[in-house]
């Protein structure tokens, strides 16, 4: 089999790359390991952090520019190495191009209103406008392909609390943002003769004197060689689904169960080994605190931020602003974990919280019997009893709750600053005007669940340059090989600039990679200035 471009992985980045490569005129084959399409993208809200997009500067959305976005990224993490600086500069210049590419492809985008950057207080941050999501698709896929689209497990959507409460929980009938994006990309890929092979995992790269000339995939029980005259793009995610790789690289303890649905099995790392690719950032992930029930992880974006609840370690002490962005909250769980103190931690809420707000997969006001029987959710009449049931120091917990209730009364968290940032307030309860994230814990029964440092995918991977070319240790590119998204080391290092930065980086890198393998990137970069 011979083609121009082989793309490994049919998530959003692989599909965007496929459509873009096809438009440039290449023959394209997408090989996908799973029986379904969409990868982690279709399980996600599909938020896209694309600074400088054309929706900014109108309809009450503040104006934005690549320069401001770059200042923000630099302020978050420092300028870093020349390679990082070049990747960041390329990202901020290309983000708006990708947003425009989606819009001109008639993939409707909208601003996630009122959602600020993760660090709104930092220079160059914006109060809203950079996080976008795909609108519901203009048309559905035909049944054959609709059945092959990965659908997410029911999960509380990641929007402000008001929006969350207005939406029905569990079994949402409408597509989430990630599903909408994948559907729209597929609706462009299929009629344009992009070839897609499902259940065809990459097994190795085809090499010729150090250059990548194609791939070998497993297909219907046989090893099939596919030559790629232009190149191979690895868009097959990270290694979040491989326990052995997690243990080798991520902080301990770690578990695939704490991952919220990414399916990366380390295929990109294994391919990288074949060509002596440089690796970076392997100890990092897109952390997000989760709870686990029925063997599945659920994010706690609303539950940990909403009033009438707090997070404590095994000693019963608070140690983190519960409302922090997932990335820093998850990292904090590990940093604080000396003596196994904070993995797991415990989310303690009172009955007002339980009645009003979602908790993991459970809608407000429900008492999930099987989870209570399994010990995933613990209920007790007193805080003393609760502490005993979950093995947390009683005096510590009582002391923390008393102190927290005083802070809640004053509406100011002088210990950890919960509710001070616009980011915190987006996820809080707007009904509480003084501090939407603070409320006392004093209505029985009390509830507790274990909190783990979960993730929405790993962040480390193959080192790529601003052209998305995979680099060797000596910084030379591997001819014929490009990578993007979870397959590549994140350009954001251990920072998280905005909601949607993982997916946005994946799309930008995929786009730049395809344009580069078509020898058109210099022209585009020149036009961008
Ligand atoms: C629940 C959840 C919510 C999230 N929310 C957001 C969000 O709102 N915004 C954001 O920026 N990020 C979010 N993320 C992360 C984001 O979804 C991913 O970073 C993004 O989808 C990556 O896209 P991708 O195309 O690179 O990879 P994926 O969408 O993961 O696609 C990779 C594909 O490669 C396939 N594959 C793996 N191995 C092989 C192999 N050997 N051969 C062939 N194919 C293979 C996989 O099956 C998969 O289909 C979320 C993740 C999860 C799980």
Between the CA of 456 and the centroid of ligand 1 the distance, in Å, is 8
Find the 437 Cα to ligand 1 centroid distance in Å.
Answer: 31
β strands within 257-299, DSSP E: 279-280, 285-293, 296-299
Mean pLDDT of 481-508: 97
pLDDT value at position 173? 34
Q: Whose CA is nearest to atom 1 of ligand 1?
A: 44
Q: pLDDT, tens digit, for every residue of 69-104?
A: 999 999 998 878 899 999 999 999 999 999 999 999
Cα of 41 from ligand 1 centre, angstroms: 5
- CA pair distance 253, 517, nearest whole angstrom: 40
Return the exposure string of 12-38: e unless at least 16 CB atoms fall within 10 Å of the residue's CB, then b. Answer: bbbbbbbbbbbebebbbbbbbbbebbb
Residue located via tokens 């394209």: 28
pLDDT band at 246 (very low <50, low <70, confident <90, very high): very high
Asked if 130 and 117 count as a contact pair (C-beta separation under 8 A), the reply is yes
Candidates 361, 489, 503: which one to mutate for ligand 1, based on the most atoms within 8 Å of Cβ?
503
Instruction: Report the range of poorest mean pLDDT among 14-23, 145-154, 268-277, 319-328.
Output: 145-154
Ligand 1 centroid distance, CA of 99 (Å): 19
Distance 290 CA to ligand 1 centre (A): 18
Q: Which atom of ligand 1 is nearest to the CA of 501?
A: 11
Give me the half-sphere count of Cα atoms (radius 13 Å) on the Cβ side of residue 210.
Answer: 8
Checking if the pLDDT of 154 tops 80, the result is: no
Closest CA to 234 of 13, 46, 48: 13
H helices present in 167-229, as ranges: 177-189
| Cα angle 134-137-139, degrees, rounded to a multiple of 5 | 165
Is it true that the peptide bond before 445 is cis, omega within 30 degrees of 0? yes
Task: Categorize the per-residue pLDDT at 157 as very low, low, confident or very high, splitting at 50, 70 and 90.
Answer: very low
Measured in residues, the chain has a length of 529
How far does residue 302's CA lie from ligand 1's centre (Å)?
A: 22
Question: Which pLDDT value is given to residue 439?
Answer: 97
Alpha carbons 455 and 262: distance in angstroms, whole number:
9
**Separation CA 276–CA 431 (nearest Å):** 55
Q: Tell which residue, 369, 333, 484, 423, has the closest CA to residue 20.
A: 484
The span from the CA of 264 to the CA of 323, in Å, is 28
Ligand 1 atom 51: residue of nearest CA: 456
Helices (H), 391-463: 394-410, 422-427
Tokens standing for 169? 């929980």
Ligand 1 contacts (CB < 6 A) are 8-14, 31-34, 39-41, 43-47, 201-202, 235-237, 260-265, 267, 286, 456-457, 485-486, 500-504, 506
Distance 511 CA to ligand 1 centre (A): 16
Question: How many angstroms does the Cα of residue 440 sit away from the middle of ligand 1?
Answer: 38
In ligand 1, which atom is closest to the CA atom of 177?
8
Residues 20-45 have pLDDT tens digits of 999 999 999 999 999 999 988 888 88
Take atom 38 of ligand 1 and give the residue whose Cα is closest.
236
Number of the ligand 1 atom closest to the C-alpha atom of 12: 25
Q: For residue 171, give every residue at least 6 positions away whose Cβ sits within 8 Å of its Cβ, in sequence order, or none.
A: 154
List, for residues 315-343, the tens digit of each pLDDT value.
999 999 999 999 999 999 999 999 899 99
Residue in this structure with the two tokens 């023959």, named with its chain if needed: 27
Rounded to whole angstroms, the Cα distance separating 161 from 306 reads 8
Question: pLDDT tens across 160-177, in order?
Answer: 555 554 333 222 335 678
């Amino acid at each position: 089999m011979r083609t121009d471009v082989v793309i490994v992985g049919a998530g959003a980045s692989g599909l965007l790359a496929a459509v873009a490569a096809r438009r440039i005129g290449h023959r394209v084959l997408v090989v996908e390991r799973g029986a379904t399409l969409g990868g982690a993208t279709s399980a996600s809200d599909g938020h896209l952090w694309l600074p400088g997009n054309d929706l900014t500067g109108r309809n009450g959305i503040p104006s934005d520019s690549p320069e401001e976005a770059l200042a923000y990224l630099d302020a978050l993490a420092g300028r870093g190495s020349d390679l990082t600086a070049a990747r960041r500069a390329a990202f901020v210049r290309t983000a708006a191009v990708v947003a425009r590419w989606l819009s001109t492809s008639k993939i409707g985008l909208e601003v996630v209103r009122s959602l600020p950057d993760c660090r709104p207080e930092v220079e160059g941050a914006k109060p809203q406008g950079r996080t976008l999501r795909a609108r519901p698709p203009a048309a559905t896929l035909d049944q054959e392909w609709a059945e092959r689209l990965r659908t997410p497990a029911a999960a509380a959507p990641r929007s402000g609390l008001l929006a969350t409460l207005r939406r029905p929980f569990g079994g949402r009938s409408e597509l989430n943002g990630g599903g909408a994006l994948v559907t729209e990309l597929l609706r462009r890929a299929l009629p344009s003769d992009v070839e897609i092979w499902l259940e065809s995992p990459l097994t190795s790269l085809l090499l010729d004197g150090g250059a990548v000339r194609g791939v070998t995939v497993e297909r219907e029980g046989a090893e099939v060689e596919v030559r790629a005259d232009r190149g191979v793009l690895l868009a097959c995610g990270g290694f979040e689904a491989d326990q052995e790789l997690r243990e080798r690289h991520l902080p301990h303890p770690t578990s695939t169960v704490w991952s919220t649905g990414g399916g990366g099995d380390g295929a990109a790392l294994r391919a990288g080994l074949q060509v002596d690719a440089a690796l970076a950032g392997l100890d990092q992930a897109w952390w997000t605190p989760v709870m686990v029930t029925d063997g599945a992880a659920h994010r706690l974006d609303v539950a940990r931020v909403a009033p009438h609840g707090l997070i404590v370690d095994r000693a019963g002490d608070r140690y983190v602003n519960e409302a922090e962005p997932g990335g820093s909250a998850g990292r904090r769980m590990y940093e604080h974990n000396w003596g196994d103190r904070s993995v797991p931690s415990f989310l303690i809420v009172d009955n007002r919280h339980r009645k009003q707000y979602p908790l993991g997969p459970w809608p407000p006001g429900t008492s999930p019997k099987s989870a209570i029987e399994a010990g995933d959710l613990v209920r007790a009449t007193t805080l003393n009893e609760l502490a005993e049931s979950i093995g947390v120091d009683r005096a510590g917990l009582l002391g923390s709750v008393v102190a927290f209730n005083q802070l809640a009364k004053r509406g100011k968290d002088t210990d950890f600053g919960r509710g001070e940032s616009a980011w915190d307030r987006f996820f809080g309860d707007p009904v509480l005007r003084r501090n939407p994230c603070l409320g006392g814990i004093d209505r029985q029964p009390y509830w507790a669940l274990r909190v783990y440092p979960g993730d929405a995918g790993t962040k480390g991977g193959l080192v790529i340059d601003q052209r998305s070319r995979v680099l060797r240790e000596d910084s030379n590119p591997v001819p014929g090989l490009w990578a993007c998204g979870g397959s590549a080391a994140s350009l954001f290092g251990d920072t998280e600039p905005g909601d949607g930065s993982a997916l946005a980086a994946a799309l930008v890198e995929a786009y730049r990679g395809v344009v580069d393998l078509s020898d058109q990137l210099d022209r585009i970069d020149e036009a961008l200035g």
